[in-house]
Structure 1
Amino acid sequence: MSDAAALEPPVDVEEHTALDEDYVLTTGFVEKVVDAADDGDGMRLRSLLEDLHPADVADLMGFLTAEHRAVVVLWLPPELLAETLPELDDGIREEVLERVPNATLAEALQELDSDDAAAVVEDLEDDQRERVLAAMPEVDRAAIESSLGYEEDSAGRLMQREVMAAPQFWRVGDTIDHVRAQGEDLPELFFDVYVVDPLNKPVGGVAISRLLRSPRDTNLTDLMEPVNAIAVDQDQEEVAYIFEKYHLISAPVTDAAGRLVGQITVDDIVNIIQQENREDILRLAGVADEDRGSSVLEIVRGRVPWLTINLATAVLGASVIGWFEGTIQQIVALAVLMPIVSALGGNAGTQALTVTVRALATRELNASNAVRTFWRELLVGCANGLVLAPLIGVAAGLWAGDWRMGAVIGAAMVLNLLVAATVGVLTPLTLSKLKFDPAVSSAVFVTATTDFFGFLIFLGLATVVLL
């Protein structure tokens, strides 16, 4: 070994082994970051974080406490900070933004496309927003303010204003030369060159891959394909649906006059689809939009209203039991068996509900096939009941020593599964027709209905048949 090699410090092989085979941050790496933050060792923090992907830095922030995040964010290089901010959960991002100096934040935002920069600025408090925008160059500030002028969750808020367009009379050579001359002014990510008419309205698009394969003297109009233009005021869910249906990679965004004002790319749509799916899943469970940065108070505020509604529906179900108090006193076995009927009804209703809400969200269910879908779920509920009824009927009959008990619970099972299928389909359809989000409150209605009718049918049949 040479003298120079002997003087080199030993290399920590584990230093940058941040991810495991499932692309999840390792416990050891997180502990190293925590130790460096506790020691106030900024240079070590920067060494640990500088090679991480922004998405992994955002994931790391979710594993850290607020105190550790406050230290880590101060040592992120501006470029890495800029790319990390759009990846953070909303609650964590708001907290991080409070810790970043305004000048640093203004510098970081200049590294982002206008859509990502607007998403970050949107989370700032009014006074901080004014100071950060004032510290930015006029062009960048104007682009962000323009994006924020559109409705939240609209295509205008989602789009990036950086877009590559070319007039109809250009040839391939003109376009390639123009693209090369733009340098830093090019969009960070683009897949198509949009061909526009003299009024700046998109008349077609040419994929970059096709542009580069074509001879320089080829007219753009000979290469262009029709484009699916997105209206600037369209809801982001509609935009995601268009991208998914037509397998788009990018699409131009037009204003009310049809003029090209920006573009939306598939990376933004992936985020929207994940966000919408996450919201629907949480809403089906009666949970507000929570993330790792949510405080205990925020979580409680989101959950208590739905738990209160569930309490009211539970009281409604319990009142049915009170109606048959005399029957239960005479046949105690009913108290043991009746939760089975309501529980299976609730599960079956949730299955039908989940399928229906998903079909509505993906637009696979509408007025043209609603009746067919309803009858299909009704037949499924009947079939499930006919399969399960003999099983629970025989078991209940043997346990109670009375075949009539088996017949009662078997019949109640079939009828309640039919009720579950009915409310599981009709509830979200009705809420959707009334312009309410079916994912928000359907589960409460379905559970309440299956509990109410489960107890009513079972105890009612028992009263008629067994007494």
Structure 2
Amino acid sequence: MSDQPRHPDDDLLLETPPAEEGRPDDRIDDERMDEENTLKRGFVRAVRDALAAGDTGAVYDLVEPLHPADVADLLELFEPDERHRLAAAITDLMTSDVVAELNDYVRDEMMEALPAEAVAQIAEQLETDDAVQLIEDLDEDDQRAILAELDPEDRIAIQTALAYPEETAGRLMSREFVAVPGHITVGDLIDYLRDGRDLPDDFLEVFVVDQRHHPVGTCQLSWILRTPRSIPLSDVMKRDQTLIPATLDQEEVALMFQKYGLISAAVVDEDGRLVGQMTVDDVVHIIAEEAGEDALLMSGAGEGDINEPIREAYSSRVRWLIANLGTALVASVIIAMFGAAIEQLVALAVLMPIVASIGGNAGTQTMAVTVRAIAMNQLTRTNTRRILWREFRVAMLNGITIAVLIGMATGAVFTPRLGGVIAAAMVVNVATAGLAGVLVPVAFDRMRQDPAVASSVFVTMITDSMGFFAFLGLAVASGVAG
């Protein structure tokens, strides 16, 4: 067991399973964490009751033992009005570590509720990129008030970052890095690193710059430690390096790190001067954020955040439902055109949803592959035709396979002729789905629109409409239904 002092209310804090006998107890943070990092319901209730009773001292005593990440989780569990009162009761515990762990919506809400001086104090404790994320979504008046409270050096750094477009390297880069001239020796560099007072707490490599502050090479710390002190830095530095423009979109930054296996990279301004660095931990956040964002956009769910205000969640979702309603009407019109045939043969009404459903799934599969390929820069103007032909062949093979199965089953249950009709319609619709799954996202990308946003709506419209039209049209043309 840990010999750390335990708080009397530790048993209330987190749902923690007992340690197994004969096994060292390696539970984290004074046994306050379980495998799901879940705050106990009883503890949350105790905090809420103390807050409702106005006993701020009890609230503080309950929350004080928590890890900053757990304090952030606790704040997110409360309603907005309760959050403000809870934050006021634990002001001393609202550190930069807590703020950095908060959900974006909750963090913005909390920052708007706090006075400018308090937000400025939190921002000064954060690295520049984290401080930028803290205030970038606030109103301009709030931003100006907070910036006015900052030290001049921090204010200039944040203002410079805010001048770059959102979701670019300039917004996300760290301005804490080590840069030295190339004419010094390895020994000079080691002495500088040991004596330097304004160096970053953590860094992986040293950037070598020329007189104009342009990066000309890099040196990893492992090289520096293994090289004799008398060797000039210019003789051991790596001259080939990947430079990231400050205006480059964050998705492109992530792709560069993935493609070239980078751990860190220099960020340069439009004049080629070194202004910051991107590190792999930043890129991990970007990848997770972009992946989740694309998945939600494909479903039309907006940002999909459970802390998103109801009005914003409603507006982001309803417009795609309205668009979907419009596209669904197209399929309904096609069905209405063949109303007489459907009345004569009820089997058509039974079978036509199958054709549309299989086509929709086939289109979704192809669309998902295409959107991912576009996001990863694997699908470009150069290979679009090849990818289109590939997906068409895959769709044809899938269509024929499904057509044989559904044709045989329909022929056995209804008539062989109807089985042939649905088999032919299935091939046509699945092939159409394969083409639409590629062409629709590519078209959106060429129009400089995010292909993940609306592709699913239009692909579904195409597959549903073509499925109904092919099946009902072939049924009429073949004489199955007159």
TM-score, normalised to structure 2, is 0.89
Whether the 8 Å contact between 1:317 and 1:452 is mirrored in structure 2 is: yes
- Does residue 372 (structure 1) correspond to residue 360 (structure 2)? The answer is no
How far apart are 1:78 and its partner, in Å?
5.9
CA shift in 2, pair 1:57/1:245, >3 Å = farther
- Does residue 253 (structure 1) correspond to residue 288 (structure 2)? The answer is no
Question: What is the one-letter code of the residue matched to 1:342?
Answer: A
Q: Secondary structure at the match of 1:262?
A: strand
- Does residue 194 (structure 1) correspond to residue 207 (structure 2)? The answer is yes
Partner of 1:131: 145
- Does residue 455 (structure 1) correspond to residue 468 (structure 2)? The answer is yes
- Does residue 146 (structure 1) correspond to residue 153 (structure 2)? The answer is no
Within 5 Å, give how 1:102-251 maps onto structure 2: 102-183=116-197, 185-225=198-238, 226-251=240-265
In 2, distance between residues paired with 1:351 and 1:57?
A: 41
Q: Secondary structure at the match of 1:393?
A: helix
Q: Secondary structure at the match of 2:355?
A: helix
Question: What is the one-letter code of the residue matched to 1:396?
Answer: T
Within 5 Å, give how 1:219-368 maps onto structure 2: 219-225=232-238, 226-368=240-382
CA shift in 2, pair 1:48/1:380, >3 Å = farther
How far apart are 1:311 and its partner, in Å?
0.5
User: Which stretch shows the higher mean deviation, 203-212 or 320-329?
Assistant: 203-212
CA shift in 2, pair 1:41/1:208, >3 Å = farther
The alignment covers a number of residue pairs equal to 458
CA shift in 2, pair 1:37/1:180, >3 Å = farther
User: Which stretch shows the higher mean deviation, 211-220 or 427-436?
Assistant: 211-220
Find the partner of 2:427 among 388, 394, 414: 414
CA offsets, 1:127-185, max 9 Å, x none?
A: 222222222211111111111112222211111222111111222232232223333x2
Q: Secondary structure at the match of 1:203?
A: strand
How far apart are 1:330 and its partner, in Å?
0.8
Whether the 8 Å contact between 2:367 and 2:438 is mirrored in structure 1 is: yes
In 1, distance between residues paired with 2:413 and 2:81?
A: 59
Question: What is the one-letter code of the residue matched to 2:300?
Answer: G
Whether the 8 Å contact between 2:12 and 2:40 is mirrored in structure 1 is: no
- Does residue 383 (structure 1) correspond to residue 397 (structure 2)? The answer is yes
Partner of 2:28: none
Question: What is the one-letter code of the residue matched to 2:218?
Answer: G
Find the partner of 1:438 among 446, 451, 468: 451
Whether the 8 Å contact between 2:266 and 2:278 is mirrored in structure 1 is: yes
CA shift in 2, pair 1:114/1:372, >3 Å = same
How far apart are 1:25 and its partner, in Å?
4.3
In 2, distance between residues paired with 1:10 and 1:130?
A: 44
Q: Secondary structure at the match of 1:110?
A: helix
In 2, distance between residues paired with 1:362 and 1:80?
A: 39
Question: What is the one-letter code of the residue matched to 1:340?
Answer: I
CA shift in 2, pair 1:394/1:312, >3 Å = same
Structure 1 vs Structure 2: percent identity of aligned residues?
44
CA RMSD, aligned part only? 2.3
Partner of 1:89: 103
Whether the 8 Å contact between 1:25 and 1:60 is mirrored in structure 2 is: yes
Whether the 8 Å contact between 2:87 and 2:94 is mirrored in structure 1 is: no
Question: What is the one-letter code of the residue matched to 1:450?
Answer: T
In 2, distance between residues paired with 1:271 and 1:373?
A: 30
User: Which stretch shows the higher mean deviation, 456-465 or 233-242?
Assistant: 233-242
TM-score, normalised to structure 1, is 0.91
How far apart are 1:318 and its partner, in Å?
0.4
User: Which stretch shows the higher mean deviation, 19-28 or 107-116?
Assistant: 19-28
Within 5 Å, give how 1:9-88 maps onto structure 2: 12-15=10-13, 17-46=31-60, 49-50=63-64, 52-76=66-90, 81-88=95-102
How far apart are 1:442 and its partner, in Å?
0.9
Runs of at least 5 residues in structure 1 that lack an aligned partner in the other structure: 1-7
Question: What is the one-letter code of the residue matched to 1:430?
Answer: A
User: Which stretch shows the higher mean deviation, 368-377 or 155-164?
Assistant: 368-377
In 2, distance between residues paired with 1:252 and 1:422?
A: 41
Whether the 8 Å contact between 1:78 and 1:104 is mirrored in structure 2 is: no
Q: Secondary structure at the match of 2:314?
A: helix
CA offsets, 1:260-301, max 9 Å, x none?
A: 111112222111112211221111112212312212221111
User: Which stretch shows the higher mean deviation, 266-275 or 79-88?
Assistant: 79-88
Question: What is the one-letter code of the residue matched to 1:448?
Answer: M
